[in-house]
Amino acid sequence: MAEIEWNGFKAIEFEFVERLAILVFPKTRGLTNKWLLKTEYWDAFPATEIELLNQGYHLAYIKNNNRWGIDEDLDAKAQFAKYLTEKYQLSSQCVPVGMSCGGLIAIKFAAKYPKLVSCLYLDAPVLNFMSCPCGFGIAKPLDNGNGLNEILNALKLKNISELLCYQEQPMNKIPLLVNNKIPLIMVAGDSDYTVPYCENGIMVEKAYRNTGIDFQVYIKPECDHHPHGLDNPKPVVDFIFKH
């Protein structure tokens, strides 16, 4: 275990179930036992996480084997969450923070382990593998087409036909989020051609409408896939803090 610094906060880096794990501590302890779980892209666009650290949240991360939401990665996160609850007295429920492919991991984690989740923050999340990485519709193929081979290898599938028939896509998990009444806030750009909202996030929005579940969506005008987050993270921070 090594003590490190992350954006001005004390953090520890250690190995958990043979994976890199990181836990960042708020400067003022005891304000809350709530915590965030960054599901992928550890250092990417951390403004929301930093603001919540300033309000007493912890922030955690455990490395994935790949970015496509395989069961062994979801299970490792569940073990990690239970460990942090026992070792550091953090809440038994976390807030997955999922950006892009991290969004699909957050969705699949919440669907498989709903009792470990208080609410979800999704930012330009991947829901539809035909859109991202395949590039059907208006999406551009991910990584100039290399994303297809990456996901086939990650999911142990032979070809795009098997991917088309794959029933464990994040979009297949939306009913479980609704059935478990998981509050959700989502941010996306209206000019995203990597993970187009109209082919991905819109499915969450439609499923949550008129359910009575706490749900908010913020669409950023003239914004591509990056940058993630809102210029002012307060709406996301307030939503998370409420739950």
Tell whether 138 is covered by a domain.
no
Our count of domains for the chain comes to 1
> What order do you get walking across the sheet with 58-62 strand by strand?
2-6, 9-16, 19-24, 58-62, 35-38, 95-99, 120-123, 184-189, 215-220
- Measured CA to CA in angstroms, residue 172 lies from 5, 176, 204, 237 at distances of 38, 9, 11, 28
Query: Does any domain span residue 74?
Result: yes
pLDDT per residue over 5-43, tens digit each?
999 999 999 999 999 999 999 998 888 999 999 999 999
157 Cβ neighbours under 8 A, 6+ residues apart: 151, 163, 166
Which pLDDT belongs to residue 11?
98
Q: Which of 131, 141, 83 is nearest to 104 (CA)?
A: 131
User: Is residue 164 in some structural domain?
Assistant: no
For 210-222, the pLDDT digits (tens) are 999 999 999 999 9
Query: Does residue 78 lie within any of the structural domains?
Result: yes
User: Which residue stretches of 113-183 are H helix?
Assistant: 146-155, 160-164, 174-179
Residue 160 maps to a domain: no
Q: Which residues of the chain have pLDDT under 70?
A: none
> What is the structure's pLDDT at 29?
80
pLDDT at 198: 97
pLDDT at position 242, please?
94
Instruction: Tell me the C-alpha to C-alpha distance, in Å, between residue 152 and each of 84, 159, 161, 229.
Output: 33, 7, 10, 29
Q: Is 165 part of any domain?
A: no
Tell me the per-residue pLDDT of 68-79, one tens digit each, with 9 for 90 and over. Answer: 999 999 999 999
Q: How far apart are CA 119 and CA 96, in angstroms?
A: 7
Specify if 113 maps to a domain: yes
Residue 154 located in a structural domain = no
Report CA torsion sign: 218, 210, 212, 33. negative
Tell me the residue ranges of DSSP E strands in 39-181.
Answer: 58-62, 95-99, 120-123
- CATH code assigned at 203: 3.40.50.1820
| Residues spanned by the domain of 115 | 2-128+174-242
- Amino acid sitting at position 213: I
All residues at 6 or more sequence positions from 123 whose CB lies less than 8 Å from its CB, including other chains: 45, 97, 98, 99, 100, 102, 103, 186, 187, 188, 228, 229
Distance in angstroms (rounded) separating the CA atoms of residues 24 and 10: 6
CA distance 213 to 110: 15
24 DSSP assignment: E
Q: Provide the residue type at 148 as one letter.
A: L
Structure confidence at residue 1 (pLDDT):
87
